[in-house]
Amino acid sequence: MKMRNFGKLGIQGSAFGLGCMRFNGPMVDGKRIVDEEKAIKLIRTAIDGGVTYLDTAYVYLDRTSEIIVGKALQDGYREKVTIATKLPDSYVKEPTDMDRILNEELGKLQTDHIDFYLAHGLNKKKWEFFKEMGLPEAFKRWKEEGKIRYACFSFHGPYEEFEYILNDYDWDMTQIQYNYMDIENQAGTRGLKLAGEKGIPVVIMEGLLGGRLANAPENVQAVYDAFPEKRSAVEWAERWLLNQPEIACVLSGVNEFEQLEENLKIFDSAEAGCMTEEELKLIDDVREAYKARTKVGCTGCRYCMPCPNGVDIPRIFSAWNEASLYNIAPENNWGWNDVKRNDATPDHCVECGACEAACPQSLNIIEFLKQAGEALK
């Protein structure tokens, strides 16, 4: 397993960080019951294979992920790894809740300290809330008490908010969603570079877009096939990340031993600077092949909203594009499921045309809504 530098922290960790959010198991009465024995075996196999970084969170797997990690780290495994876990804003109503949650997490993880403690899924609003709750002071005190080693945050939001949060506190590490399709989305490449300039190590989540980049659709596979060097779509995606020196660790949330084995091999062979110019061009071509699958060029500006009949036009178009880009079935399409839950589906459209008059892209929204409704039903 290749080890990588964690920027200004002066420590090293494994290139592959095991994400502990995706362990699965059978559905019982509509609820997924994690196969704990398998999950523990996966964690220990990963550690035996050289993984030194585990990522979990208070809320993962119905709040059982930390318990499973805690069990897996018995018998001498705790000493071999660093643990990253997270503080969720949704469970914090007053400042004392933060201490209560941290203590609960230490208990579940069966450890006396957490290495990387992250404010979970920050955007600007959540960061302001955490500041009001006194999180910066609490981070300092927890470090002094030896309960945490590093004060960190994971991020989901626009770049401007990432820049604001990154510059607003002396962070030890940040975790961002990043992959070759998200270079201009969320923190994006700009965010990665900014953290790199400040010496703040960056841990990557959703490097395979939650698995969506693992199975290339036909036109994307054709681009890979035309390239002389043969690698799987997963390997290309992970190598593209590991090529970038600002990245300290790439998380992958495997739930099968075959995936774990493949990832252990990939992360043992790739390092910063490993991609040639031709290979980087290949990934640019792959990105373009995905983008060519876009159904509608909606930018999500929301000028068309609110629709007088409650149709969530931008959300529908984004769900339709997602479905087409990554071959996502309607039942697994979160955006579309939200639209349905909110009763904001295309069939409420009465073709009044108010949206088309407001659209700066001059999109034929009424026609596109019909097509989206057909494709997503």
Ligand X SMILES: NC(=O)c1ccc[n+]([C@@H]2O[C@H](COP(=O)([O-])OP(=O)(O)OC[C@H]3O[C@@H](n4cnc5c(N)ncnc54)[C@H](OP(=O)(O)O)[C@@H]3O)[C@@H](O)[C@H]2O)c1
**Which DSSP state fits 99?**
H
Estimate the share of the chain in helix, then strand, then coil, as percent rounded to the nearest 5.
50, 15, 35
Catalytic residue (one of 53, 60, 117, 150): 60
| Contact status: 201 vs ligand X (CB under 6 A) | no
Residue least distant from ligand X (Cβ):
19
Contact window for ligand X (CB under 6 A) among 182-190, 240-248, 253-261, 301-309: 253-261
Decide the pairing of beta strands 202-205 and 247-252. Answer: parallel
d(CA 335, CA 208): 18
Q: Between 205 and 244, how does the x/- string for binding to ligand X read (CB under 6 A)?
A: xxxxxxx--x-------------------x----------
Minimum CB distance to ligand X, residue 256 (Å)? 7
| Contact status: 254 vs ligand X (CB under 6 A) | yes
**Closest among 128, 141, 136 to 152, alpha carbons compared:** 136
Nearer to ligand X, 260 or 311 (CB): 260
Cis peptide before 228 (omega within 30 of 0): no
d(CA 131, CA 135): 5
Q: Is 326 a catalytic residue?
A: no
Decide the pairing of beta strands 12-14 and 3-5. Answer: antiparallel
Contact window for ligand X (CB under 6 A) among 17-25, 101-109, 125-133, 221-229: 17-25
| Contact status: 19 vs ligand X (CB under 6 A) | yes
H/E stretch holding 118 reads strand 114-122
H/E stretch holding 162 reads helix 159-167
Q: Between 112 and 151, how does the x/- string for binding to ligand X read (CB under 6 A)?
A: --------xx------------------------------
Interface contacts to ligand X, rule CB under 6 A: 19-22, 55, 120-121, 154, 156, 175, 205-211, 214, 234, 251-255, 259, 262-263
List active site positions.
60
